[in-house]
Amino acid sequence: MDGDREHLIIPGDKLAVIEEFEAGEGTYVKDGAIRANTLGVVHKNLAERKIEVKRRRTCRIPAAGDVIIGQVESAQAYDISIRIYFINNETSQKGFVGMLLLREDENRSNRGVKNRIPCKVGDLVRAQVAANVDMIIVLSLLCSNCGVIYAVCSLCGGKLVKTDTRLKCVECGNVEYRVVAPDYGRVKIP
């Protein structure tokens, strides 16, 4: 009954219209649309015709090989910290912060781009845990589906859409660079 629940929902995502469902936990209604107000996974309660966004929680400590989703808290040159919200698609409320590992040679060989910061503050990023040594969590963007999954324009806050190699703001036309995940802009329910 809730086959969509593996899809990650991002705040603001449209889930349904009010004619279809009642807005439940983790949602809000605006202009007749039910939208998410939290990161999570969607649950459709068809019996009560209610739609909710829930966080599946994990107590897991990030370990090498885990895939995390987090939000960039600071991004200066090659010093990028990411607040971890999901570990292997389950929510983590432990407040872990990982450091993104960015070697210049990796940047150059894998992405054809040099000396560019791959993400900005506020972006949602999918990354792989490269190591966790005494809770110093090192993250990498080198896995095939890693990269920025959601970002907004740093000038106006508008939606950034993917073009060939960049992201472009639909509001003001500003062009920005990110290392984007293959599913950038599609990390939500269909």
Which candidate, 41, 48, 7, places its Cα nearest to that of 27?
Answer: 41
Residue 1 CA to residue 19 CA, distance in Å, equals 19
Which candidate, 45, 184, 186, places its Cα nearest to that of 125?
Answer: 184
Output 82 or 169, the one with its CB closest to Zn ion.
169
**Contact between 122 and Zn ion (CB under 5 A)?**
no
Question: At which residue do the structure tokens 């698609």 appear?
Answer: 89
Residue 36 CA to residue 148 CA, distance in Å, equals 20
Task: Give me Rg for the CA atoms of the chain.
Answer: 17
Q: How far is the CB of 29 from Zn ion (least distance, A)?
A: 26
Interacting positions 136-155 with Zn ion (CB under 5 A):
153, 155
Among 156, 175, 182, 183, binds Zn ion (CB under 5 A): 156
Output 42 or 167, the one with its CB closest to Zn ion.
167
Q: How far is the CB of 158 from Zn ion (least distance, A)?
A: 4
Q: Is 67 exposed, middle or buried (0-12, 13-18, 19+ CB in 10 A)?
A: middle
Among 11, 122, 158, 185, binds Zn ion (CB under 5 A): 158
Q: How far is the CB of 127 from Zn ion (least distance, A)?
A: 25
Output 68 or 169, the one with its CB closest to Zn ion.
169
- Counting residues that bind Zn ion (by CB under 5 A) gives 8
**Contact between 45 and Zn ion (CB under 5 A)?**
no
Among 39, 125, 127, 169, binds Zn ion (CB under 5 A): 169
CB 42 within 8 A of CB 1: no
Instruction: Please give the residue ranges that form the binding site for Zn ion (CB under 5 A).
Output: 153, 155-156, 158, 169, 171-172, 174
